[in-house]
Amino acid sequence: MKAMRRAVVAVALAAGVRAGTAAGEGIEVGVAAYSFRHLTAFEAIEKTKECGGEVIEFFLWQKLSPAHSNVVLNADLSGAHLAALKAKLEACGVRAVNAYFNNTPFQDPAGAEAGARKLFAFAKKLGLRGLTGEPAVEHLDLVERLVKETGVQLCFHNHPRNPAKPEYRNWEPAYLLSLMEKRDPRMGFSLDTGHLSRSGVDPVETVRLFKGRILSVHLKDVTEATPKSGDVPYGQGIGNIAGVIAELKKQGFRGHIAVEYEHTTDRLLDDVKHCIGFIRERIR
């Protein structure tokens, strides 16, 4: 059995599969498709490959492709379009690992369970490891049932503190941790370091606090601790990105780090390439 396992690993590495895992103790490096939201999902896959990413995290309201500009990548995707998406991923050598779903299934309370089940079933069909969103507290029991039924992770996302919405608490590390208390271990966090910095929260300390519950990372560096602070290449902002990566590596993090830019620039491709290189240098 051990010999067979070693042979499988050797074949995977020879084929270039999970190259980041081999080099970085289970850390996969890629791009959040939202960085290329001005393009289609097919084009975002191409850009991810061009920038050196091995994985991509989709968002479920992006147009599918230039040839199908009226088709949206979401849980309603037809079988034919899903097959085309999988073929595009395979052709580019990029793996889809997660998708941000914007909580659409939960907007209609009466149809929340049916919508959530459809979403998790779609994730299984696409071969995703997880889904990212911010379900309300009252929906977490439903989500946990679906996580247990399907094995698909729920990666709870944090956005910045909003002074105009004091009731929003998903920027507070202690509060976030309380939401996952005693939950299935496949329920954890899609930690957005830029949103932490924008909220005046230390990303490295949060990574330490969330040890064992971080399932994926939206890695951002930003200029200042304000809600709309702009994205900058890693190492040029306040986010201590090197420290975040070091702490993740120290914890033996097994998941993906997605480079995400919320603010487009005329150097977007170069910036994303820089960020991917920055990560790879530190997970060797």
Going from the N-terminus, what domains does the chain have, and what CATH number goes with each? 24-283 (3.20.20.150)
R_g over Cα of the chain: 18
User: Is residue 172 pLDDT above 70, yes or no?
Assistant: yes
Instruction: Note the pTM of the prediction, 2 decimals.
Output: 0.90
More confident residue, 284 or 45: 45
Q: Are 65 and 89 in contact (CB under 8 A)?
A: no
Share of the chain above pLDDT 70, in %: 91
> 83: helix, coil or strand?
helix
What pLDDT shows up at residue 264? Answer: 81
Helices (H) and strands (E) in the chain, counts: 11, 12
Rounded Cα distance between 67 and 31, Å, is 23
What pLDDT shows up at residue 109? Answer: 87
- Mean of per-residue pLDDT scores for the chain: 92
Please choose, from the candidates 77, 84, 68, the residue with its C-alpha nearest in 3D space to the C-alpha of residue 99.
Answer: 77
User: Is residue 12 pLDDT above 60, yes or no?
Assistant: no
Q: Which helix (H) or strand (E) holds 210?
A: none
Q: What is the mean pLDDT of residues 240-254?
A: 97
Position 211, amino acid: K
